[in-house]
Structure 1
Amino acid sequence: MTRKKEQFSPSKTLKVSKDIRVRFNETDPLGIVWHGNYITYFEDGREAFGRHHGISYLDVKENGYTTPIVKSVCEHKLPLRYGEIATIETTFINTPAAKMIFQYIIFNEQKQVVCTGETIQVFLDNNDSLALNNPPFFQSWKNENGL
C-alpha cells in the first residue's frame, strides 16, 4: 500500500485594515507627513489589529507581559499630505519564536502604496525577563486562531 504524502497548508493569515486622516500636526511645513509619524501609524495599525483579534496591549498586560519593539523597518514610497485619508493594512506574521512580527502597508486614497514596514516585538515578564518560549496566553491565542 502506497502512503500519501501528508499535505500541510500554510498558516491562516490574520490582518486588519484601518483608515486614518492625516492631521495637521503630523505634517512638516510643506504639508507632507513627517517621516517619523509613519512609525506612529504602524502603532495605530497594531492597536486596531489587537482590538480586532483579541491580543491588545491591555490583554498582554493583563497576562503579566509587555511587548517592547526590538526592531522596526520603514520604507517610504510616496508622500501623504494633510487631510488625506490613508489605509493602514497590518498583517501578523506567524513564527514559532516567542515574538510578534507585524508587517504594514500604508495606502493613499488612490490605493497606491505609500509606505511599507515591519516591527518585531518580544515578550518581557513582570521582572523584565525575556520570555524564551511563547507565554501560555499567547500560545493559546495562536491555537485559537489556527496559527
Structure 2
Amino acid sequence: MGLSSKTNLRVRYAETDQMGVVYHSNYLIWFEVGRSELFRVLNLPYTEFEKQGLSLAVVEANCRYRKPAHYDDELTVVTKIETMTSRSITFTYLIYCDERLLTEGKTVHVFLNKEGHLADVRKYEIWQSLQPVFEKQEASIPTPR
C-alpha cells in the first residue's frame, strides 16, 4: 500500500477560457480527482468515510501555477499524503503534461462528524483501515539526529 497515486485525465473544452487555456479553478477540481483516486488505491473510497458519518473538510488550499494547460492536453495528477494525524490529512499535488510540471498544490483537510464538529478518526471503524496508512506515513518521516 503506497502513499501516492497517479491519475491521468484529458483537458476538456469546458475547462478552458476563450484562449484555450485552462481556467485556474479547475486545478482544484483535479486535486479532488487525485485525492479520490488515492483513497481508492488505498481501498478507502470516500463513500466509506461518509457511511461512518465522517467527512473531510478543506481548511486550506493553495496552488502554484507554473505553466498553463490547454484544451486536449493529457495530464497526470500525482497525489501524495504529506502528513496525517487522527484529526487531519495534508495532501500535495503535482500536475504534469508529459514531463513538464504545470502546477504544484497542497490541501489540508480535517475530519468532521455528522454534526460538523472536528472528529478523531481513531474513534471510528474506518481507523482500522487508515491506521496502516498513518503508520507508513509516520515511518517515512526521518527522525532528528
Alignment TM class, shorter chain as reference: 0.7 to 0.9
Shift of the alpha carbon at 1:144?
A: 2.8
Please identify the structure whose Cα radius of gyration is greater: 1
SS at match of 2:36: helix
Once the two structures are superposed, the pairs formed by residues 1-147 of structure 1 within 5 Å of their partners are 14-109=3-98, 111-132=99-120, 134-145=122-133, 146-147=135-136
Read off the aligned partner of 1:23 and give its amino acid letter: R
CA displacement, residues 18-76 of structure 1 (integer Å, 9 cap, x when unaligned): 11000000000000101111001101101111111122220110111111111101000
SS at match of 2:131: helix
Q: Are 1:13 and 1:92, in contact at CA under 8 Å, matched by a contact in 2?
A: no
Could you say which structure has the higher helix fraction? Answer: 2
Read off the aligned partner of 1:64 and give its amino acid letter: G
Give the whole-Å Cα distance in 1 for the aligned partners of 2:131 and 2:118.
22
Report the TM-score, using the length of structure 2 for normalisation: 0.85
Give the whole-Å Cα distance in 2 for the aligned partners of 1:103 and 1:137.
26
Shift of the alpha carbon at 1:128?
A: 1.2
Shift of the alpha carbon at 1:126?
A: 1.1
Q: % of aligned pairs identical?
A: 26
Give the whole-Å Cα distance in 2 for the aligned partners of 1:29 and 1:19.
24
CA displacement, residues 68-125 of structure 1 (integer Å, 9 cap, x when unaligned): 111101000000010110000000123335111110000012x111000011111111
Shift of the alpha carbon at 1:132?
A: 4.8
Give the whole-Å Cα distance in 2 for the aligned partners of 1:58 and 1:133.
15
Report the TM-score, using the length of structure 1 for normalisation: 0.83
Give the whole-Å Cα distance in 1 for the aligned partners of 2:131 and 2:2.
13
Q: Are 1:88 and 1:106, in contact at CA under 8 Å, matched by a contact in 2?
A: yes
Query: Cα RMSD (Å) of the superposition?
Result: 1.8
Of 97-106 and 125-134, the range deviating more from structure 2 = 125-134
SS at match of 2:84: coil
Give the whole-Å Cα distance in 2 for the aligned partners of 1:124 and 1:52.
22
